Amino acid sequence: QQSKEVDVSQIEQVANKILSRLKNDEDEKLKRREIFIFLLANTDLPWKEEIIANENVSSFSNICGKLLTPAQFIGLVDKLVLWEYMYCCCATISRDVASILLENAFNFLDQKKQETEVEIAPWIVWTGLARASLPFQKLSTAILTKYLGRCLQKATPGKERMNNLLSVLSVANAFLSGSLEVDPYFAHLFEQGDEAIAFDGNPEIRSSLIVALKAMLFDMDFDQWIQLCEIPSADVMVYNGISKIWQEDDVPSNVQFMAAHLIYKVKSLLQGQASEPLTVDLLPVMDQFAKEYNKVLELDLESIELPQLLEVLEQQKDSLEQWKIEAYLGKLMTFMPGCLEVANCVSVMSVYAEHLHNNFEDIFVHIVQVENRQEMHDELFFTIAQHTAVESLSDIATKITNGEIRTLTVSADQFDSRFVEAMNRSGGEGGVGKMLREFFVLAILNGDRTIERLVEVAMQNAGQLDNVCQILKSVWAMGSKQISDLDIPNKYDTGCPKTLLGSLLAKCILEKVDKELENSIKLFNNLKDENNTLSQQVYSACLPQILKLFDDSQVGSICTLLEVILSCLCVTSVVDTFTQECTTYSINIGCYMLNHSYYKPSHDNMRLNLIKWISAVSKNDSSLIKARVLPDLMSYFSTANCKTLLDKVHGDMAGITTQESGSKVMPMIKETEMKSQITACLVFITKEEFVVLFNVLKEMYPCEEEGETDILKCVEMLSDSCHKLFVNHNLDEERQRRIVSGYASVYTGEVPGAETETLIKLYSILIKDIFVLKDTLKTPPTDDSEMLTAPLWISCQAVVAELLQQQLPSLDTVKLLLIHLAITPKCSFKEAVIMVITNYLDKSQK
């Protein structure tokens, strides 16, 4: 192959013809790059495996019969203006190939005659060559020596001297940074994975560059520097792909901005060598010119006054770019707070409200301080707030709560109107963020009132409970505001200060009734896990109230408060915060109420929760309880000394109540004592404990068949004990009803699935119970539902229904059911049982 025979002019002609057909600059740029790669792949260079093994270029490499010489290739690069791609690829191909290309480029440029009219100024191509050669120390020394000599020629015209200054600044910046960026396209093409190529700078080159910079900057006068403002940056940027003078995203409008930024970058890189002889006098000079570029500089904000600023914002509001809006508004903020006195300024700020959200706190603080605040100021606050992040609004509201900044006072009517509107929109379109934003705005206006109204809404409207909970959890800082109060007596001191939200919830729980009370408790239960202080405050408020209610025998209200107290104690470690006096007082009043309710059936509903309360506060330490409760009640709290059946029942019930595993050891009771012990149990146990008693009896009287229980014997023992108790003792009606109701509840668990024979016997026992107890009440009931035996009749109906559901009981069995009913008095319950039986018989006969 004889490369010298390649007709370079023909290649140039063909390439130019291809480029002339392209319609836009972008297409032309892409096509020039393709032409460059094709020519490069068909140049006689020591590629090794780079081209052959590279799938990206191997398909069109070396396909020409005659290859270009490196010199011919560089000549075409110049003719076809391919310098940008030539310099870009040198960082991604092998050093041997890149060195050959750069050396040939250097020779070509050095020998090239200066033409009167050229498409690309020589300084641009030389700048690119100097930068590209930096990783090659030996070669770069020769290239930069020649390059700097050209830049420092004294006969150079003024504009060219300024271009040379930009060039040297760019090369110096690249050299001092120690790396060159790699072009992504060529990195992919030649499979180069690094984003930049690092190099070690030659000290001689460094010295030469610094000396050149000193000469240029020291020779610069004020008029020359000012003239740079008149040179548009477009003159430089048109071939910036070759020179790489400007590497930032935003392009300045003139060359002075470019030069000032490049001087700033070089100065930053030299800052650590301020004491060196070469730089000691250079850096002060650079300080005079250095300024990091920011496109905001283009707006000349330092000299603009408020009237001019407002005029720009008003007249150009539809055409201003985002960055200009931010810059102008940033300048506007420097006129605060005085500009708020200018109505036109407030109006302009309202128009640009969505861009002022980051300045909201400053604006808010200044609005608050305006002496003659007007409606326009309030509207400005509300308008900007709608665009401000919830987190920022939260910070402001918290600062107001903590007294760090003042609040914006509005009338009560205006606040309430906005609150109602916000509440109506909650849960609607816009999501949680919009909902919370509106309530943080309200919290800024009046944090206390916001919390009060939210609690009020939740209390009155169960449908808003979830929304209110979510809002209150978000505005927690306002609800946690400490409120002044008289010292809390030690016996009520749960170890926390009084807060606004805790105080409101406690007040609602203690004062409201019916649905409002129910909603208040739900609200508390939904919020209490957020912070222990709520439980501590509500608990403290309940202590004096529950004792007062107990003295007034308001059992229903006591049971409600006990549920609340236990809910408070469910929160982790709340008890640990109580003062010793509070813990002792809690145990004292709990034991007092338990003792005095033990003998009152009307107080049965509170017993189990009283046990839970005492156990929780005492942490199940029986030594704290023993001296405070009746001996019969101690079995609820201690596993020791289980001597009686009642002890066993109490112990097992306490285990269920406090969810402790295991049960008390079965007491050793003689058969002869069992009936009297059962009778004692019937007098003192609650309705819920009858089932526990029955389970104890089943444990004590197993059936002869292994693994089964003598159910009938246990039921008969309870039935006989009830009969004897009612006949031999003058029980009050309240206790009688409790015993019958508890006894009847035993059947609930035994009837389903029982065998036919067992059901018939249970039915017989119930009929006997009804007959024996029919005349027990001193005052005849006015209605069948008030009959003492009503619970027994209900159990009787359950037995009959279960029996008839079984597969075809015999006709004799069904008749026996009717015969048993003959001894019972007439009542609606009896008629219902008869109807069920007769309906069954009618169906059977069909």
Instruction: Give the pLDDT mean for 172-193.
Output: 87
pLDDT, residue 662, reads 47
Q: Tokens 């009287």 — which residue?
A: 701
Collapsed DSSP state (helix, strand, coil) of residue 709: strand
Instruction: Assess whether pLDDT exceeds 90 at residue 100.
Output: yes
Cα dihedral 816, 819, 823, 827 sign: positive
The model's pLDDT over 359-392, given as tens digits with 9 standing for 90+, comes to 999 999 999 998 888 999 999 999 999 999 999 9
C-alpha span between 349 and 317 (Å, rounded): 12
pLDDT, residue 808, reads 61
pLDDT, residue 632, reads 84
Q: 540-549, 732-741, 793-802, 817-826: which range is least confident on average?
A: 817-826
In this structure, are residues 636 and 611 in contact, taking their beta carbons and an 8 Å threshold? yes
C-alpha span between 584 and 69 (Å, rounded): 103
pLDDT, residue 99, reads 94
In this structure, are residues 759 and 793 in contact, taking their beta carbons and an 8 Å threshold? no
Instruction: Assess whether pLDDT exceeds 50 at residue 664.
Output: yes
pLDDT, residue 223, reads 86
The model's pLDDT over 556-569, given as tens digits with 9 standing for 90+, comes to 999 999 999 999 99
pLDDT, residue 430, reads 52
Q: Report the share of the chain in percent with pLDDT over 70.
A: 91
For the chain, the maximum distance between any two Cα atoms, rounded to a whole number of angstroms, is: 139
Instruction: Give the pLDDT mean for 674-693.
Output: 87
CB atoms within 10 A of CB 8: 15
Q: 58-72, 103-117, 621-635, 663-677: which range is least confident on average?
A: 663-677
pLDDT band at 813 (very low <50, low <70, confident <90, very high): confident
Name which of 719, 730, 825 is nearest 771 in CA terms.
825
pLDDT band at 809 (very low <50, low <70, confident <90, very high): low
Instruction: Give the pLDDT mean for 681-695.
Output: 88
Instruction: Give the pLDDT mean for 50-59.
Output: 64
Name which of 807, 837, 795, 802 is nearest 819 in CA terms.
837
Q: Which residue has the higher pLDDT, 43 or 55?
A: 43
What are residue 179's DSSP bridge partners? 198
Instruction: Assess whether pLDDT exceeds 90 at residue 132.
Output: yes
Residue 671 contacts by C-beta under 8 Å, 6 or more apart in sequence? none
C-alpha span between 807 and 448 (Å, rounded): 69
In this structure, are residues 240 and 123 in contact, taking their beta carbons and an 8 Å threshold? no
- At CB < 8 A and 24+ separation, what contacts does 802-808 make? 802/751, 802/752, 802/754, 802/759, 803/756, 803/759, 803/760, 803/763, 804/836, 804/837, 804/840, 806/756, 806/759, 808/844
In this structure, are residues 288 and 318 in contact, taking their beta carbons and an 8 Å threshold? no
In single-letter form, the type of residue at position 675 comes to K
pLDDT, residue 4, reads 52
C-alpha span between 679 and 693 (Å, rounded): 11
| Cα dihedral 568/571/573/574 (nearest 10) | -20
Instruction: Assess whether pLDDT exceeds 90 at residue 146.
Output: yes
Instruction: Assess whether pLDDT exceeds 90 at residue 148.
Output: yes
pLDDT, residue 55, reads 67
Instruction: Assess whether pLDDT exceeds 60 at residue 706.
Output: no
pLDDT band at 663 (very low <50, low <70, confident <90, very high): low
Instruction: Give the pLDDT mean for 499-513.
Output: 93
Q: What is the mean pLDDT of the chain?
A: 86
pLDDT band at 707 (very low <50, low <70, confident <90, very high): very low
pLDDT, residue 3, reads 44
pLDDT, residue 684, reads 87
CB atoms within 10 A of CB 790: 20
Instruction: Give the pLDDT mean for 807-826.
Output: 77
The model's pLDDT over 411-469, given as tens digits with 9 standing for 90+, comes to 899 999 999 998 888 766 555 667 888 999 999 999 999 999 999 999 999 989 998 99
Residue 530 contacts by C-beta under 8 Å, 6 or more apart in sequence? 473, 476
Q: Which residue has the higher pLDDT, 108 or 675?
A: 108
C-alpha span between 495 and 480 (Å, rounded): 15
Beta strands in 132-284 (DSSP E): 179-181, 196-198
The model's pLDDT over 574-589, given as tens digits with 9 standing for 90+, comes to 898 899 999 999 999 9
In this structure, are residues 615 and 637 in contact, taking their beta carbons and an 8 Å threshold? yes
C-alpha span between 795 and 239 (Å, rounded): 101
3-state SS, 800-832, equals: HHHHHHCCCCCHHHHHHHHHHHCCCCCCHHHHH
Instruction: Give the pLDDT mean for 166-177.
Output: 94
- DSSP one-letter code for 603: G
CA distances from 192 to 48, 55, 83, 186, 789 (A): 16, 14, 20, 8, 96
Structure tokens at 368: 């608050």
pLDDT band at 155 (very low <50, low <70, confident <90, very high): low
C-alpha span between 728 and 722 (Å, rounded): 10
pTM of the model: 0.69
pLDDT, residue 639, reads 67
pLDDT, residue 48, reads 72
Instruction: Assess whether pLDDT exceeds 80 at residue 10.
Output: yes
C-alpha span between 110 and 126 (Å, rounded): 10
In this structure, are residues 648 and 666 in contact, taking their beta carbons and an 8 Å threshold? yes
pLDDT, residue 371, reads 85
C-alpha span between 361 and 830 (Å, rounded): 78
pLDDT band at 116 (very low <50, low <70, confident <90, very high): very low
Helix axes 465-474, 431-460, angle to 10 degrees: 120
Q: Tokens 């389970």 — which residue?
A: 695
Q: Which region holds residue 781: left if phi is over 0, alpha if psi is between -120 and 50, else beta?
A: beta
Instruction: Assess whether pLDDT exceeds 70 at residue 709.
Output: no
In this structure, are residues 249 and 180 in contact, taking their beta carbons and an 8 Å threshold? no
pLDDT, residue 660, reads 55
Query: Vertex 252, ends 250 and 254: CA angle to 5°?
Result: 165
The model's pLDDT over 212-249, given as tens digits with 9 standing for 90+, comes to 999 999 988 888 888 888 889 998 999 999 999 999 98
pLDDT, residue 582, reads 93
Instruction: Give the pLDDT mean for 776-788.
Output: 75
Instruction: Assess whether pLDDT exceeds 50 at residue 2.
Output: no
Name which of 463, 544, 454, 430 is nearest 505 in CA terms.
454
- DSSP one-letter code for 496: S
In this structure, are residues 571 and 535 in contact, taking their beta carbons and an 8 Å threshold? yes
CA distances from 682 to 479, 636, 677, 693, 738 (A): 50, 17, 9, 9, 9
| Cα dihedral 198/203/206/212 (nearest 10) | -150
